[in-house]
């Protein structure tokens, strides 16, 4: 994965700690409105309780991933001009963060498919859309705020769907009969608390699936499409996610797992996993 699509808090002005609102819940210890700095944000734009976020009731902070949008805005769009020193830019900068994040998320998905040989026939089209999306991230703030993100996402998603079908068609299968699809067909999108422990889910599509607290221990999720799947508190202990696609660090950070969980090479084992 390209380095600029990974979060680099050292190069960011703590934008997610100011721009984003949150409500008191199991994920956040108190309410905070958009544009209001979190009380835990220090003057140097670092979190004062970074190593204790989960213990202090801020699990939601450990799940958030900007896909590199924070440092892009901080160091490129605003050329290193901190909102603290240039308060006239603050509101606009905060409004730009969710838009830039969506663009970087799309870049991350396309970048992943450009590294998959199964989708080679789509690489030229993907590169074209990738370059166009990068161009959008380089626009002036006022132009960024005028972008029709849903329309652009729909165009990108069409290619991602095609790429997903190609990749999942190569999923390992016990069934070697020619002409028979290897892709798992699952009914519905609601797997809330479902017991899928040890299930053979190779090549399945969980696009946008609700998988909160789903038991996926020892499940075989190789080559599964995980884009948009809600994995909050899902148990991935011992699950095999090798070769799975569109799985993000944010999804893993929201889930549970252990040392036996197998992950794609570009993702890291969350610190809270036992």
pLDDT, tens digit, 9 for 90 and up, residues 159-174: 999 999 999 999 987 5
Helix (H) or strand (E) holding 113: helix 90-114
CATH number among 3.40.50.300, 2.60.40.10, 2.160.20.80, 2.60.40.60, domain 175-274: 2.160.20.80
CB 128 within 8 Å of CB 18: no
Instruction: Report the distance separating Cα 176 and Cα 189, nearest Å.
Output: 28
Q: Dihedral angle at the C-alpha atoms of 263, 67, 26, 233, nearest 10 degrees?
A: -20
Q: Distances in Å between the alpha carbon of 62 and those of 1, 52, 58?
A: 21, 10, 7
What are the two backbone dihedrals, phi and then psi, of residue 245, each rounded to the nearest 5 degrees?
-120, 150
CB 227 within 8 Å of CB 208: yes
Alpha-carbon 259 to chain mean position: 21
Quote the DSSP letter at residue 158.
Answer: H
pLDDT grade, residue 154 (50/70/90)?
A: very high
CB 74 within 8 Å of CB 89: no
Query: For position 189, what pLDDT does the model report?
Result: 79
Which residues, at least 6 apart from 81, have a Cβ–Cβ distance to it below 8 Å?
A: 89
Query: For position 186, what pLDDT does the model report?
Result: 62
pLDDT grade, residue 188 (50/70/90)?
A: low
Q: With pLDDT > 70 as the criterion, what percentage of the chain qualifies?
A: 95
What is the phi-psi region of residue 187: left when phi exceeds 0, alpha when psi lies from -120 to 50, beta otherwise?
Answer: beta
3-state SS assignment for residue 41: strand
Query: For position 247, what pLDDT does the model report?
Result: 98
Query: For position 90, what pLDDT does the model report?
Result: 97
Give the up-direction half-sphere exposure of residue 215: CA atoms within 13 A in the CB hemisphere.
Answer: 6
pLDDT at 108 over 80: yes
CATH 2.160.20.80 segments of the chain: 175-274
Query: For position 187, what pLDDT does the model report?
Result: 59
Query: For position 185, what pLDDT does the model report?
Result: 53
The total of other beta-carbon atoms located within 10 Å of residue 55's CB is: 9
Instruction: Report the distance separating Cα 240 and Cα 243, nearest Å.
Output: 9
């Amino acid at each position: 994965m390209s380095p600029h699509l990974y979060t680099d808090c050292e190069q960011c002005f703590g934008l997610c700690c100011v721009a984003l609102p949150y409500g008191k819940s199991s994920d956040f210890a108190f309410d905070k409105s958009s544009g209001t700095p979190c009380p835990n944000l220090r003057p140097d734009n670092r979190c004062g309780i970074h190593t204790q976020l989960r213990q202090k009731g801020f699990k939601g902070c450990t799940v958030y991933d900007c896909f590199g949008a924070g440092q892009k805005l901080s160091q490129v769009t605003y050329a290193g001009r901190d909102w603290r020193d240039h308060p006239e830019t603050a509101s606009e900068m905060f409004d730009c963060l969710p838009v830039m994040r969506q663009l970087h998320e799309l870049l991350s998905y396309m970048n992943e498919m450009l590294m998959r040989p199964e989708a080679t026939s789509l690489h030229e089209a993907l590169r074209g859309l990738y370059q166009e999306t990068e161009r959008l991230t380089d626009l002036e703030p006022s132009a960024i705020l005028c972008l029709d993100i849903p329309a652009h996402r729909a165009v990108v998603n069409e290619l991602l769907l095609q790429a997903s079908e190609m990749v999942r068609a190569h999923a390992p299968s016990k069934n070697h009969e020619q002409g028979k699809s290897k892709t798992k067909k699952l009914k519905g999108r609601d797997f809330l608390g479902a017991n899928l422990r040890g299930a053979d889910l190779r090549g399945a599509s969980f696009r946008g699936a609700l998988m909160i607290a789903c038991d996926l221990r020892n499940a075989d999720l190789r080559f599964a499409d995980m884009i948009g799947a809600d994995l909050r508190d899902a148990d991935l202990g011992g699950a095999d996610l090798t070769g799975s696609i569109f799985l993000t660090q944010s999804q893993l950070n929201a889930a549970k797992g252990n040392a036996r969980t197998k992950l794609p090479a570009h993702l890291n084992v969350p610190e809270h996993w036992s």
